[in-house]
Amino acid sequence: MWRRGERLYALLVVLVVLLEALALGGLVVAFSGRIFNLLGSPVAYRALFQALVLTGLALTSLSAYILLYHAYTASKERLDRKAYEDWLARFTEALFNEEPPPPPPWPRPALEALLNLREMLKGEFSERIADWLRQVYPHWIRLLKSRWASRPARLEALDALAQARLPETLEAILPYLSHRDPVLRLGAARAGARVARGEGLGRLAAALLEAGLPRGALLEVLLLLEERATPVVEAFLSRGGREEVWAALEAIGRLKLVALAERVLPFLDHPDPELKAAAMRALYRMRYPPKGYEGLLLAALKDQQEFLRAHAARLMALLGNELAQRALWKALSDPSFYVRRAAAEGLLLMNRGFLARAAEGHPDPFGRAMAQQVLREAA
């Protein structure tokens, strides 16, 4: 990615390297000819002098550019900051006095101020700012559609549309979810999550299923959707692959989408341990007891995968019955520290007195010590 002024700097560095290569090449030829008595001493001295002059000019030019670049950017940042504050004050005054804003076109600091206001304010004020942004958003659409726009310019346009949150801009964002550049695909996914509303959520879900994004990026998109995530999560669960299903299960738990809890339960019997663990985490975060699936949890408590046993122990505590107590009592003897910890915390959640009994008389010394430690921390 490039910042303004860095392209010129890169070109200058390339020219300096080429000049140095030319000077060193001339020196090699001149002194080689002198060594083999093919050239006289004046020629070699002249080549040395020329190389020194070229080196001095190149280093002087490079140093001057660096100093001027830093001086210019520092001054430009101060001016932009002052302009941003002025435009922010003007927009805020127009907003609270219910007056029209200054007429566009607006400079970059003004757009930044307007987008930040859109992010900060809610309700009626936010909708008025959205109406103002509708006067200028075609500029960002043109950047996305331009064949010659650079990657930074496209990312900046996607970020601006994400902040603006105008539903009508979704159609310009969705094509980037199939772009060959993964950075632009991720930027489009984030922007789409901020923008999509209503029927647009279905189009966004379809595009995300074809985007080939990693699970972490998919989860970020679902979390950005917040209360609008349900239709996209359902699409991931129904038509998605391993990555999409994992992201959907994680999002259900983190967003507390209790209405989808029944869709999570069948994954407790999934052959993929990662998806099974994600389902357990989702149910535990929602505090949704998996009644009718006790046998699967008991089997998971004996699984070879340590993380599955730990998740099963935490989830078992939500059942709150005698079967769960006996299973967690037995889990205190597990060789894994994390499983013993989950079992002790589960017993504390269900029945503090039962955990106290384990702290006094559990047959496994490590399980007894873990029960004592959890009791001390809870005191």
- Dump pLDDT digits (tens) for 292-313: 999 999 999 999 999 999 999 9
Q: Is the pLDDT of residue 31 over 60?
A: yes
Once rounded to an integer, what is the mean pLDDT over residues 157-186? Answer: 95
Closest CA to 65 of 107, 111, 20, 9: 9
Write the pLDDT tens digit of every residue in 327-367. Answer: 999 999 999 999 999 999 999 998 889 999 999 999 999 99
Q: Is the pLDDT of residue 129 over 80?
A: yes
Confidence of residue 40 (pLDDT cuts 50, 70, 90): low
Whether the CB-CB separation of 47 and 27 falls below 8 Å is answered with: yes
Once rounded to an integer, what is the mean pLDDT over residues 15-24? Answer: 78
Once rounded to an integer, what is the mean pLDDT over residues 99-107? Answer: 89
Q: Between 23 and 370, where is the model more confident? A: 370
Confidence of residue 22 (pLDDT cuts 50, 70, 90): confident
pTM for this predicted structure:
0.81
pLDDT at residue number 20:
76
Amino acid at position 160, single letter: A
Once rounded to an integer, what is the mean pLDDT over residues 249-256? Answer: 97
pLDDT at residue number 46:
74
The pLDDT mean for the chain works out to 90
Q: Between 204 and 76, where is the model more confident? A: 204
pLDDT at residue number 1:
36
Confidence of residue 2 (pLDDT cuts 50, 70, 90): very low
Q: Is the pLDDT of residue 316 over 90?
A: yes
Write the DSSP string, 131-192.
HHHTTTTHHHHHHHH-SS--HHHHHHHHHHHHHHT-GGGHHHHGGGGG-S-HHHHHHHHHHH
Confidence of residue 3 (pLDDT cuts 50, 70, 90): low
Angstrom distance (rounded) from CA 27 to CA 319? 84
pLDDT at residue number 86:
94
Whether the CB-CB separation of 273 and 306 falls below 8 Å is answered with: no
